């Protein structure tokens, strides 16, 4: 179930708002400029499935989204607890960063924790299967897939180079929740 907590950036222990109500989460995120939609991820996809399998299963949804947003490239991140690069990948995504383009993810299996640093607030959004999140360009954020990752997300980009992060150097991410810690 999609879940959200909102914190003051200086109070990482006590959430000002906590909700598992998708409509409420969507409303709060929209007010902060974040798109959250629920799409039907109905293909039989499992963490560890190949990029080709995932893209073939969701080609219609991908085409629709790419046309809607003018996106130019797509890839898949498919993580399992046994993935040989899981520690390095997790660490890479855990540092606060921005992108020069929107970050669009459609979760087709499993879950991951997007944390968004907007103004003086920090939004933790646990995204799960069926969730599509679009984080606007320039939004400070980080992502936690947990120490034993098990998820599949389709990533869509306007930049043909794909995922390119600009790390802020701010250690704020170290003060907030992590999956499985």
pLDDT, one tens digit for every residue, the chain (181 residues): 899 999 999 999 999 999 999 999 999 999 999 999 998 888 889 998 999 999 999 999 899 888 888 888 899 999 999 999 999 999 989 999 999 888 899 999 999 999 999 999 999 999 999 999 999 999 999 999 999 999 999 999 877 666 678 899 999 999 998 887 5
Say how many Å lie between the first and final Cα of the chain, rounded.
19
What digits encode the pLDDT tens for the residues 35-52? 999 988 888 899 989 999
CATH classification code of 3-165 = 2.60.120.10
> Are the C-beta atoms of residues 92 and 144 closer than 8 Å to each other?
no
> Which of these, 1, 136, 149, 152, lies nearest to 69 by C-alpha position?
136
Domain ranges of the chain: 3-165
């Amino acid at each position: 179930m999609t879940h959200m907590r909102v914190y003051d950036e200086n109070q990482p222990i006590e959430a000002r708002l906590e909700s598992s109500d998708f409509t409420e989460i969507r409303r709060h995120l929209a007010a902060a400029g974040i798109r959250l939609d629920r799409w039907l991820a109905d293909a039989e996809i499992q963490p560890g499935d190949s990029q080709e399998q995932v893209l073939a299963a969701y080609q219609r949804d991908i085409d629709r989204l790419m046309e809607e947003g003018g996106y130019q490239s797509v890839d898949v991140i498919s993580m399992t607890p046994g993935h040989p690069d899981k520690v390095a990948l997790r660490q890479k995504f855990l540092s606060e960063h921005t992108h020069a383009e929107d970050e669009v993810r459609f979760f087709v299996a499993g879950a991951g924790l997007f944390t968004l640093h907007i103004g003086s607030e920090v939004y933790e959004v646990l995204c799960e299967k069926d969730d599509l999140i679009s984080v606007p360009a320039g939004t400070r954020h980080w992502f936690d897939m947990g120490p034993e990752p098990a998820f599949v997300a389709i990533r869509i980009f306007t930049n043909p180079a794909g995922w390119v992060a600009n790390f802020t150097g701010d250690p704020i991410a170290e003060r907030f929740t992590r999956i499985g810690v």
